[in-house]
Amino acid sequence: MSSILCSMWLCAGYANDKVVNIADFMKYVREGDDVTPVVTEALKYCRKVQASKLLFPKATYNFKKDFAVEKYHFISNNDEGLKRFVFDLSGIKNLEIDGQGSLFLLNGFLSPFLLDKSSNITFRNFSIDYSRTFHSEGKILKVDNNGIDIQFSSGFPYKIDNTTLLFTDKEGTVYPWSDLLEFDPQRRETAFMAKDLWVGSKVPVKEISPGVVRLKSPDIKGTVGNVMVFAAGHRLVPAFNISSSNNIRFFDVNIYHCGGMGVIAQNSSNIYLDKVKVSPAPGSGRIISITADATHFSNCTGKVVLENCLFENQKDDASNIHGIYSRITRVISPNEIEVKLVHRQQFGFDYLEEGMELEFADGPSIKTYSKNTIKSLDRINKEYTRVTLRQPLDPATKSGDVIASINGYPEVLIRNCVIRGNRARGILLNSRGTTIVENNVFHVPGAAILFEGDASFWYEQSGVNNVIIRNNTFDNCNYGVWGTACIEVGSGIVKEYRANNSYHKNIVIENNVFKVFDPRILKAYSVDGLVFRSNKIERSNDYKSLYPNAEPFVVDDCSGVQIENL
């Protein structure tokens, strides 16, 4: 990029300063050049003139990390780190980015978008992909008692360091991998009852011929002809990183790949997705789209709306909407506690604020026993915070209990979406705001819908209050190992406490179609108000039933249960 050009960008004139066209900044940019510096300068100009739109004429735009903005970033349920971003939209208000059908092609460990304290941002009509994916895929050629032979295409370059398999790109950058998971290329989904193989990336490897390697471990099994997916080792590169922002809208955006979650929002309000597609890039031949959840929302408020979306073949769930628990590590005084963010992918997540109302819950039962309000905070580091309360602590307060915000939760609408072919579950519904799931199609290897929450591993706050699930089609779910029913209602409550805790409330499941080869339709515990009515159940032979005599409805330690019209 020319330094002369940079000065021209800052003084460029426009017929309408409210609409900025990226083409006006690209006079000396050749096809295939890194456009990252151009975007940086265009965004500076947008801030200066308070532009309403940044327009991209339809084209393929290449982005590299060399001149990208660099910030240390904490993002819930992904990995923290010093990250680089193409579009740093921090603090920007009232801006639309319109790609007009463009492809944003990224190279290396580079995230497309950062929103922090941003508001009224609209994304429209573009696709995101990477020149080298963060995961790798190979065809299974041979399986025996000593290991497995895998063939990689040129799209997944690698090298062998001594006996260790390292995935690389053209520049020699290493892409760490972790577990293995087998996919059926005909059905384009996880292989029937396939499990994650946590063999470790140090499994001995030998190259048999160019592009063909043998993984020498008897623990690795698969079916010849299927695709073995080598998962990305980290969640370092989400596509849209949204923090402390509001009124964020997506229209006709395709996320073909990223190295983490597609859209991850924390401490934000009013997120709207319409016709967002998470899917492998057309013509790529890849079976995996992105390497983690399609969407994820932590401690959000206002409304979360997912409409007319396609979430397929991502390496984890389609969506998870929840709050966060912090664990009490020390009672300091009658109105002071020390708390810790427990899961490493929640470190640095500053969701606690002065004036916030808190709930206090017992650790093993997750049963709320008191409320209080934050007077002041002393953040010690990314894990620990000292909290001073306005009122004296309940005498029952002890180390190992948890706290969480009760200031607000999002209302959730998930409508007219297709969720299929991905690893794990469909959607995890854990908001206490009114939640409606309607007119969707689910075809996933685990539970299509999971109500969860726990104070033992992820420390995700849940406890729904009003959920309606209606007019959906559940098409042969549970062909994998990530569920024990099509709809599961549970939490991390220790079994002996479940009867005395109605953690979830008021769930209505009505007018849906359940096409099932596995008779297990509903499993629930610790719910007050659970209605299953006017649903149609169709038997299927599309998969082999491993549990032909299982009960379709298993409901324990619940009250107000109605199961009708069977």
The reported pLDDT for the residue numbered 8 is: 31
Write out pLDDT tens, residues 220-273: 999 999 999 999 999 999 999 999 999 999 999 999 999 999 999 999 999 999
In the numeric block, which tokens belong to residue 518? 């596995």
Q: pLDDT band for position 491 (50/70/90)?
A: confident
Cβ-contact 199, 220 below 8 angstroms:
yes
The answer, yes or no, to whether residue 416 has pLDDT greater than 60, is yes
The reported pLDDT for the residue numbered 72 is: 98
Say what percent of the chain tops pLDDT 90.
95
Using the Cα atoms of residue 374, residue 378, residue 382 and residue 383 in order, give the sign of their dihedral: negative
Q: How far apart are CA 358 and CA 377, in angstroms?
A: 13
The answer, yes or no, to whether residue 127 has pLDDT greater than 50, is yes
The answer, yes or no, to whether residue 52 has pLDDT greater than 50, is yes
The answer, yes or no, to whether residue 519 has pLDDT greater than 80, is yes
Give the contacts of 330 (CB within 8 A, at least 6 positions apart).
Answer: 337, 338, 399
Write out pLDDT tens, residues 262-283: 999 999 999 999 999 999 999 9
What mean pLDDT do residues 44-58 have?
97
The reported pLDDT for the residue numbered 17 is: 60
Write out pLDDT tens, residues 157-189: 999 999 999 999 999 999 999 999 999 999 999
Cβ-contact 337, 375 below 8 angstroms:
no
Question: How many residues are listed for the chain in this entry?
Answer: 566
| Average pLDDT score, the chain | 95
The answer, yes or no, to whether residue 524 has pLDDT greater than 90, is yes
Write out pLDDT tens, residues 348-365: 999 999 999 999 999 999
Write out pLDDT tens, residues 323-337: 999 999 999 999 999
The reported pLDDT for the residue numbered 407 is: 84
The reported pLDDT for the residue numbered 537 is: 97
Q: How far apart are CA 484 and CA 462, in angstroms?
A: 20
The residue ranking higher by pLDDT, 301 or 17, is: 301
Q: pLDDT band for position 14 (50/70/90)?
A: very low
Q: In what order do the strands lie in the sheet with 164-168?
A: 158-161, 164-168, 174-175
What mean pLDDT do residues 461-472 have?
97
Cβ-contact 556, 525 below 8 angstroms:
yes
Return the residue matching tokens 């915070």.
385
| DSSP tally for the chain: helices H, then strands E | 2, 50
- Nearest alpha carbon to residue 371 among 399, 390, 349, 344: 390
In the numeric block, which tokens belong to residue 524? 């629930």
Report residue 36: phi and psi, to 5°: -55, -50
- What is the residue-wise DSSP string for 335-384? TEEEEE--SGGGTT-----TT-EEEEE-TTT--EEEEEEEEEEEE-SSSE
Q: In what order do the strands lie in the sheet with 147-152?
A: 189-190, 177-184, 227-232, 136-144, 147-152, 212-215, 205-209
Cβ-contact 212, 170 below 8 angstroms:
no
The reported pLDDT for the residue numbered 490 is: 87
Between helix 36-49 and helix 3-11 the angle, nearest 10°, is 20
Write out pLDDT tens, residues 447-459: 999 999 999 999 9
Write out pLDDT tens, residues 271-322: 999 999 999 999 999 999 999 999 999 999 999 999 999 999 999 999 999 9
